[in-house]
A and B are shown apart, each in its own frame.
Chain A
Amino acid sequence: MKGIELVKLIDTSLCTACRGCQVACKQWNEVPAFRTKNNGSYQNPPDLQWNTWTLIRFQEYEDAGGKFTWLFRKDGCMHCTDAACVRVCPSGALYHTPFGTVGLRKEKCIGCKECVSACPFNIPRYDKATDKIYKCDLCQGRLQDNLSPACVKSCPTGALTIGAREAMIKKAHARAKALGGDANVYGDKFVDGTHVIYVLKEKPEVYDALPVNPHVPLSVMAWKDLLKPLSLVAAGGVLAASFLHYIIHGPKTPDDADNQTKEGGA
């Protein structure tokens, strides 16, 4: 897997919600779990946390024919090609790896939380105790050692697979076609393609907490592509204009005290 762009494929039609991936993620990355309580759902913990980088979302769903079904979706970082979090990160803690994934250098994170609101998928989570954010890095250390990520390794049904980008996208479309109906591929079309791609059984709008049309927020583009360069251009322009003013028009100097005519009330 070294040196090639990877895609992790999540085939929701094969997922049985065993949550082996959730446990394997915590075990491999050595992140603790919080004590939780029963809140009426198998989805546990209820949301991603700074120490829960992947989560199986459980959703009860009735299709058009009134037939009940479970929808399981493994939530976590999508590893965007055009990642809003990398665009906004002030310290370079978030960065693009040669695998195409979005890595996180924890020691560089300053806890500014700019990525938290920039992410179109609502993934990064902040931990107050360490004043840093955390998220899935697709087990970068394992990828570097030519191993699959812990979640993929643990998956017993083949719902999680990883491989070269083009091949995985092709595989995803073939699988969606084979499933038929509303089955579709989610992830290859937006933010220049994500490096985690779903085969969804239902249309994207059916799923909880899944944006239908994710994109780098307009606010991030206004900020980083327009105002950020403009700040230096404007300051440089003012400096240049001041210099030109000085050499062309000249400063506004008081008239010589001797020549001055007294005016006004005095």
Chain B
Amino acid sequence: MKKGLIKATDAFERIVHWSLAISCLVLCITGLGMMFHSFNFIGDLMGGLKSLKYVHNFTALFFVLALAFSIKMWWREAGVFSMPEDLEWMLCAGGYLWHVDHPPKVGKYNPGQKMFFLTVAFFGVIMVITGFIMWFPLSLPVELVRWMYPLHALGFVVIFAFFFVHLYLGTIGSPGSLPAMLHGWVTRAWLVKQHGKWLEEMEEKGTLEVYGEEKRAAQGH
């Protein structure tokens, strides 16, 4: 690791993130295998469509766990908007869509990331509930069961589209972001540009961890 890099995430955070990401991706891919006849071949990789069904159902159990940890872990940081700077940020789209001289400084998560988190949390819960009913449908009223399928499909529409947004903005759309979820160390320049308020907060509280430097005492100022 290079000297001067700043710690953005801890190992637990990254493990939860990738548990959710990988299980979500496996669910999307296996789900596609059942949703479209032209994707039935995905089942061949797993020994048939019936095995694919089991991969989907049991990966879902892993997803439930990862989702529960994600919501618990990120609720405070990404589940609550802090006004008025989040509103200002949204009004100029954070400078992502058109030129903005100085987008408002944001904390650890910008409002776009917060909306992404809330969407994944909300539709993730929808997917879990509808999916569980689809797994064990026979003792429930048919009118209820019938609507679980389009709801599950709606969740897929949203989550699958958001996955690509997330993929773009986590990689080439925002250079310097990916390391935050790989090894957790980011550059100061990236922090200043993307999460200026968070950097200031960490410096103020003395929680800033710089690679190669002793951690400053919490009552630094």
Interface residues of A (CB under 8 A from B): 88, 90-92, 108, 110-114, 116-118, 122, 126, 131, 217, 219-220, 222-223, 226-228, 230-231, 234-235, 237-239, 242, 245-246, 249, 251-257, 260, 263-266
Contacts and interface: CB of A to CB of B under 8 A. Distances in A.
Contact of B36 (A228, A238, A242): A228
A169 B135 CA distance: 40
A266 B36 CA distance: 55
Contacts, number: 139
Among B97, B150, B221, the most chain A Cβ lie within 10 Å of the Cβ of B150
Given A238-B165, A251-B175, 19 more contacts: A90-B37, A90-B49, A91-B40, A108-B49, A111-B50, A117-B145, A117-B149, A230-B157, A242-B165, A245-B97, A251-B173, A252-B95, A252-B175, A252-B193, A254-B194, A257-B187, A257-B189, A265-B204, A266-B200
The main secondary structure of chain B at its interface with chain A is helix
A-B residue pairs, 9 tightest by C-beta: A264-B200, A242-B168, A227-B153, A254-B189, A223-B150, A234-B161, A90-B34, A219-B146, A110-B50
Nearest to B141: A117
Given A223-B153, A252-B174, A217 B146 contact: yes
B184 interface: no
B176 to A, nearest CB: 5
Contact of B150 (A92, A111, A227, A256): A227
B156 interface: yes
7 contacts: A112-B53, A231-B156, A239-B164, A249-B98, A252-B173, A253-B175, A265-B204
Contacts of A255: 189, 192-193
A234 B199 CA distance: 35
B211 to A, nearest CB: 15
A126 B164 contact: no
B203 A92 contact: no
Contacts of B35: 90, 228, 231
Contacts of B189: 254-257, 260
Given A219-B146, A257-B189, A252 B203 contact: no
B1 interface: no
Given A112-B53, A231-B35, A234-B160, A251 B172 contact: yes
Nearest to B96: A252
Nearest to A221: B150
A210 to B, nearest CB: 16
A217 B147 CA distance: 9
A126 B96 contact: no
Interface string B135-173: 001100010011101100110111011111100100011
B75 interface: no
B135 to A, nearest CB: 9
A238 B137 contact: no
Nearest to B171: A251
Given A90-B34, A92-B40, A228-B153, A254 B145 contact: no
B176 A254 contact: yes
Nearest to A217: B146
Contacts of B174: 251-252
B188 interface: yes
Nearest to A119: B142
A217 B149 CA distance: 12
Contact of A264 (B156, B157, B187, B203): B203
A214 to B, nearest CB: 13
Nearest to B152: A223
A251 B94 CA distance: 12
Contacts of A265: 200, 203-204, 221
Contacts of A108: 49
B153 A245 contact: no
Contacts of A246: 168, 172-173
A254 B149 contact: no
